[in-house]
Amino acid sequence: MIYLALFWQFFKIGLFSIGGGLATLPFLYKLAETHPHWITASQIGDMVAISESTPGPIGINMATYAGFQSAGYLGGVIATLGEVAPSVIIIIIIARFLANFDKNPTVKDAFWALRPSVVGLIAFAGLKLLGIVVYGQGVFNTQAALVFAILTVAVLTFKRVHPLIWISIGAILGMVFNVGG
């Protein structure tokens, strides 16, 4: 039953992606391995670009896309529900016990180790994306590597520029250098 599978897969992603949208990426790559007909590794890159250019959290955008892709409108709704359900359950529990939660060092710091670990996961996702960019078609793509190098320097130099601007520049460079090739 596809709807159940969509709900369950995105429930897991919603449950374990802690620390913002990019933390969902390694889970999506895992999903792309097990369910390539829902989303592929290179589509994940496209969807991140779209997510950065449209409102809304990456997790929800991915769920809607993958759900829609595999099972139409209802699929998109159900995958999104799966993505959000863990938040709803956990936050309502936390909010109920908020008064105690704050003052309790055990609860507050119990998950401290997740922070450095999640940084490792995001770095992994970044390299995975880079791998797809420069080595997507199985051969080294010089133009794409060049575009990546230019953009990395630019992104690191001009930190205050909005991602939307970078993505537009990337699209233009992609067309100029004919990266898709």
Partner 1 sequence: MKADTTIQWEQKGKPPVNLRFFLKLFWTTFTLSMFTFGGGFVIISLMRKKMVVELGWINDEEMLDFVTIAQSSPGPIAVNGSLMVGYHLAGVAGALVATLGTVLPPMIILTLVSLGYKAVADNHIIAAAFSGMRAVVAAIVLQVSWALFKPLTHARKALPLLLFGVSFLALFVFKVNIMVVMISVILFSVVHSLVVIRGEEGR
Residues within window 72-101 making contact with partner 1, judged by CB under 8 A: 73, 76-77, 80, 83-84, 86-88, 90-92, 94-95, 98-99, 101
Q: Is 26 a binder of partner 1 (CB under 8 A)?
A: yes
Q: Is 162 a binder of partner 1 (CB under 8 A)?
A: yes
- CB-based contacts of 43, cutoff 8 Å, min separation 6: 32, 65
- Taking a C-beta distance cutoff of 8 angstroms, is the pair 101, 117 a contact? no
Q: Is 49 a binder of partner 1 (CB under 8 A)?
A: yes
Which residue in 132, 169, 111 sits closest to 47, CA to CA? 132
Q: Is 127 a binder of partner 1 (CB under 8 A)?
A: yes
Which residue in 157, 155, 156, 160 sits closest to 173, CA to CA? 155
Q: Is 179 a binder of partner 1 (CB under 8 A)?
A: yes
How far is the C-alpha of 34 from the C-alpha of 15, rounded, in Å? 18
Q: Is 3 a binder of partner 1 (CB under 8 A)?
A: no
Closest CB to partner 1 among residues 1, 99: 99
- Closest separation between CB of residue 106 and partner 1, Å? 6
Structure tokens that stand for 17 in this block: 């992606």
